[in-house]
Structure 1
């Protein structure tokens, strides 16, 4: 095994829209772009692989497992209320209201392909 960043693959309908979503709204930077088939974006130790319908990652996935599930990336923020305000103003679609629990507060948003992103503020 090699020592590298943590990678998560999201299957997306439109690679450009997905890359724009993560760079504009969450501060990722584009690492690699392979036309309409694939791009990867990076934020800290997370490398998010955005695989379009023509990518090998999408083609290797069984068709009955293409629906977005409950899995998601988890992004930690200092001020959830400020992030919610910023994301709403930018027109980002929300999949939940803010919920609180013993570990903190969170809200779910969706990327252009319907993949979930959890925006989380740890408890005090």
Structure 2
């Protein structure tokens, strides 16, 4: 089984976001350092600043949140979900775009990590 790790600024804040806004289930939490959540076969590891995975690399670079890599959540009613998330203050990087495979939009968690919300055509 594969897992995705996201670096976050605040584990409790990130857990609340994924649990309350995107319906993930909290499976395990290691205080403010790390949490493991699941949703429909996706296992998400949230690593805070105190996690061992957040330690600097030998060359001095430090893992940090953000960027453009992302996971995709398949949804059934993208406009309604976007409207609900916007009403809760969730930030989006773009507007809904449509392509041959469906519609998509990029939202951000509280640390600036991207989640793609996708509705198949």
**TM-score, reference length from structure 1:** 0.90
Deviation at 1:67, TM superposition (A): 5.4
| Residue deviations 1:26-52 (CA, integer Å, cap 9, x gap) | 110101101100011110210100000
Query: Runs in 1 of length 4+ with deviation above 4 angstroms?
Result: none
The residue that corresponds to 1:18 in the other structure is 14
Q: Deviations over 1:45-99 (max 9, x none)?
A: 1010000011011115562653522110100001111111111111111111111
The reply on whether 1:58 has 2:45 as its aligned counterpart is: no
Residues 64 and 53 from structure 1, CA distance in 2 versus in 1: closer, same or farther, beyond 3 angstroms? closer
Which residue number in structure 1 is paired with residue 117 of structure 2? 119
Q: Which residue of 2 aligns with 1:90?
A: 88
2:104, 2:114 → 1: CA distance?
Answer: 12
Q: Root-mean-square deviation (CA), in Å?
A: 1.4
Matched, 1:100 2:98: yes
Tell me the matched-pair count.
Answer: 119
Q: 2:42 aligns with which of 43, 46, 49?
A: 46
Structure 1, gaps ≥5 residues long: none
Structure 2: gaps (5+ residues): none
- Change in Cα spacing, 1:15 to 1:27, as seen in structure 2 (3 Å) is same
